Structure 1
Amino acid sequence: MDEFPGESKEYKSVDSATNEDEAVHYPVEFLNSLELSGIPPHTLNVKIGSPIMSLCSLEPPKASNGTRCVVTRLHTNVIEATISCGPYKGETVLVPRIPLVPSDSELPFKFRRLQFPVKVCFAMNINKSQDQIFKTIGVDLTSECFSHGMFYVSTSRTGTSETLYFGPK
């Protein structure tokens, strides 16, 4: 993020237990520390020009889960971004703060996080790359994560082998 010009803006989430009786057992500081898959972080630092990925469907089909965008404006309660790939490339999308409740969490309680449903995105997993085209692809092979079809998906996101790179470095 330091490579982008300008100052970053910090957005903090508002976290709360969904059950008032459990709120005593799970203080806000603890909820703020939770980092779960599919849920934005408590502290989101972004700059104009930074790449972000949508974590839910905001304006389907234009801005659905996994849509990559570039931040164009930062407001108090809205992030303005431009879609960076796909059939809606170049279109503007407004990302509001919304309440998110993790559904597949292994936590023994439920909580709500009010935050922008995006993450800063310099890389993505193979499943998120489906139906997208990239100029350059780097596939990290340091761990055995491949299942049937993943190798094909990871290598077919660019049109030429000259821009396809493998390896841990």
Structure 2
Amino acid sequence: MNQNEIVNYPTEFLNSLELPGIPPHNLQLRVGSVVIMLRNINQPRLCNETRLAEKKLMNVIEANIIRGKYKGKDVLIPRIPMISTDLPFDIKRLQFPVRLAFAMTINKSQGQSLEVCGINLEFPSLAN
């Protein structure tokens, strides 16, 4: 965010950063993909952890809510500024606040009602 620090970091380095709570620089979506919201942008419809199915990809994402009170409702998701302060410098990206939802963390899955669920028990999920 500081204009004087831009020359200190190559674009490739900034694009390669995987920051918590921020989608990857190159978010590859397709129609029908299941995504999860990372931010509250229109409560109570579009809250953190809302799962959606992509319908159209344009300058905004048109998606259908697949779980919860608003199941079946169509929504539009705009790109929003996402700021991370987890680094020695602040970084700001204009991105869609979604991430592919192939899997969820234990914390994100709490309170979810699922018809089908798969659990990988090959590795311990909780540290002793």
Task: Give me the TM-score of the superposition, normalised by structure 1.
Answer: 0.70
Deviation at 1:144? 3.6
What is the distance in 2 between the residues matched to 1:121 and 1:91?
Answer: 19
Cα shift readout 1:124-167 (whole Å, capped 9, x = no counterpart): 111111222111122233444437xxxxxxxxxxxxxxxxxxxx
Match of 1:134 in 2: 114
Q: 1:64 aligns with which of 7, 23, 47?
A: 47
Deviation at 1:31? 0.9
My pick for the range that moved more, 30-39 or 134-143, is: 134-143
Match of 1:35 in 2: 18
Task: Give me the TM-score of the superposition, normalised by structure 2.
Answer: 0.91
Q: What pairs with 1:123-162 in structure 2 (closer than 5 Å)?
A: 123-146=103-126
Deviation at 1:28? 2.1
What is the distance in 2 between the residues matched to 1:56 and 1:38?
Answer: 8
- Taking only aligned residues, the RMSD between alpha carbons, in angstroms, comes to 1.4
Match of 1:80 in 2: 62
Q: 2:84 aligns with which of 102, 117, 138?
A: 102
Match of 2:33 in 1: 50
What is the distance in 1 between the residues matched to 2:109 and 2:84?
Answer: 23
Q: What's the % identity of the aligned pairs?
A: 50
Unmatched runs of 5 consecutive residues or more in structure 1: 1-17, 148-169
Cα shift readout 1:91-150 (whole Å, capped 9, x = no counterpart): 1121111110124x2x21111111111111111111111222111122233444437xxx
Secondary structure at the residue paired with 2:76? Answer: strand
Q: Which amino acid in 2 is paired with 1:117?
A: P
Q: Which amino acid in 1 is paired with 2:57?
A: L
Secondary structure at the residue paired with 1:139? Answer: coil
| Structure with the greater alpha carbon radius of gyration | 1
Match of 2:93 in 1: 113
